[in-house]
Amino acid sequence: MDIVKDKTRRFQGKPRPSEERAARDLRGNQATDDEPYFSKKWSIFRVPEHIREVDEKAYDPRVVAIGPFHRDQPELKAMEAQKLRLYGQLIKQIGGEEREVGLRTAIKKLEGKARRCYSEEFANISSEEFVQMMVLDGCFIVELMRLYHKSNQHGEHLREPIFATRWMLPSITRDLLMLENQLPFFVLQEIYKLTSLSEKETPLNKLALLFFEPLRPQKGEYTEIKLQDQGKHHHLLALFHSSFLPGDYQRPSRRRGMRWDRQESLPGKFWLEEVRILQRSGVKFRSNPGNLLNIEFENRELRIPTLFIDDSTGPLFRNLLAYEQCNAFAAPYITCYAIFLNSIITVPEDIEILQDTGIIIQSKSEDEEVVNLVNSLTKELVFDLHDMHDCYIAQQIEDINTFCRSWMSKCIYQLSKIDFISMGISFIFPSFK
């Protein structure tokens, strides 16, 4: 597992396979102007090969191609007709050909900036084709979100074919959260502004968050504070990524010496012992309402928000994790959450305990499938497990491990191994076998 990279190690001789893959990934995302790989200008990446290998299907759109990475995929061509239909519908609403020319002119001015957002140059796509792609894909997204908002929030019955099937809208929603399937957010904002018929229209950030709400792994509604988000984001996936962060969260400042010692501080395979061992050590589990990242530990009680696991959970987390891996400026709190789950879940018994306490609710029939999903999320991720600075639950982890090393916890653990029922039977019926 390549989850930890020791920066002090030195390798000699032939590079390892993982190093060769990393080199290929870097070359594939290289810009000709020698900008650093993690440049602030780059925000839309092709998923690195070594990450993609863990689950190929998680990163590929199923029904709709957005942007340049998947535009030539034959299996996605059918949706192009729907893009053109919604585009024509939108242009008709805003006033016809004159407004259409103005829209294309505005996006043409953003072409250079938009191209620099991608980690590849796409020299094979002409200026005219690139602008046309941005306009068509952007109008499709904006109009779809507007229609969804009218249908859901205002209760309007819309005669929209996309909404008339059970599978199409969920599939499109999932596709719009693929890392490789993004448009720069400023392009969407410009299209939204130029196609708005009223100054009182719902802000694009809120419109997008409401559109993606059904895919949230905690299945709860956003807080009103979160829906008022007016921040600048790279793209739709980045906006969705930011919605997981608690409103009062402050990323800690970098300080030297904030590191765990593997021998003294981290008892389990990563940060903590598994659920079943924690429970036998006196830790009580309870579901915690609210934000998915709101993990708390107090008075022996570990409170973890409910996680709903279905077929969309794996691809969703994998793309959020890939975004954090590709963008060094994105706080790695989804990575921390995935490592936390991987730390405490190893066998189906761990899942059963979390199910009984309402922390995990799953549509998958086998607990083993959930274990495999959780354990695979962190494969091929690069993250320093000893770095407390980038772990948003560092204090909770320290508190749990401190308790588990306490005299009280050790006594509880030893008592948990005693079979009191058998002892009682033996005491009452000495000859019972």
State pLDDT tens for residues 110-158.
Answer: 999 999 999 999 999 999 999 999 999 999 999 999 999 988 876 666 7
Q: Same domain, yes or no, for 316 and 411?
A: yes
Q: Same domain, yes or no, for 285 and 205?
A: no
pLDDT, averaged across the chain: 84
Which DSSP category does 266 fall into? -
Domain region containing 308: 262-416
Which pLDDT value is given to residue 261? 63
Task: Please state, for a pLDDT cut of 90, what percent of the chain lies above it.
Answer: 61
Q: Does residue 426 fall inside a structural domain?
A: no
Q: Same domain, yes or no, for 236 and 372?
A: no
In the structure, what pLDDT confidence band is assigned to residue 48 with cuts at 50, 70 and 90?
A: very high
Q: 3-state DSSP call for residue 296?
A: strand
Q: Same domain, yes or no, for 191 and 289?
A: no
Strand 296-298: give its sheet, edge to edge: 284-288, 301-305, 296-298
pTM: 0.85
Q: Does residue 248 fall inside a structural domain?
A: no
Q: Same domain, yes or no, for 92 and 180?
A: yes
Q: Does residue 133 fall inside a structural domain?
A: yes
Give how many domains the chain has, as a whole number: 2
DSSP H or E stretch at residue 308: strand 307-309
Task: Read off the pLDDT of residues 371-380 as tens digits, 9 standing for 90 and up.
Answer: 999 999 999 9
Q: Does residue 144 fall inside a structural domain?
A: yes
Q: Same domain, yes or no, for 192 and 305?
A: no
Query: pLDDT at residue 419 above 80?
Result: no
Residue of higher predicted confidence among 260 and 160: 160
Q: Could you give the CA distance from residue 40 to residue 244 in angstroms, rounded to a whole number?
A: 22
Q: Could you give the CA distance from residue 375 to residue 340 in angstroms, rounded to a whole number?
A: 11
Instruction: Report the pLDDT averaged over residues 348-363.
Output: 94
Which pLDDT value is given to residue 34? 40
Per-residue tokens: 405: 């090393």
Q: Same domain, yes or no, for 288 and 226?
A: no
Q: Same domain, yes or no, for 63 and 183?
A: yes
If one counts every other C-beta atom within 10 angstroms of the C-beta of residue 38, the result is: 10
Q: Which of 186, 37, 40, 180 is nearest to 111 (CA)?
A: 186
Query: pLDDT at residue 27 above 50?
Result: no
Q: Does residue 431 fall inside a structural domain?
A: no
Instruction: Report the pLDDT averaged over residues 9-30.
Output: 41
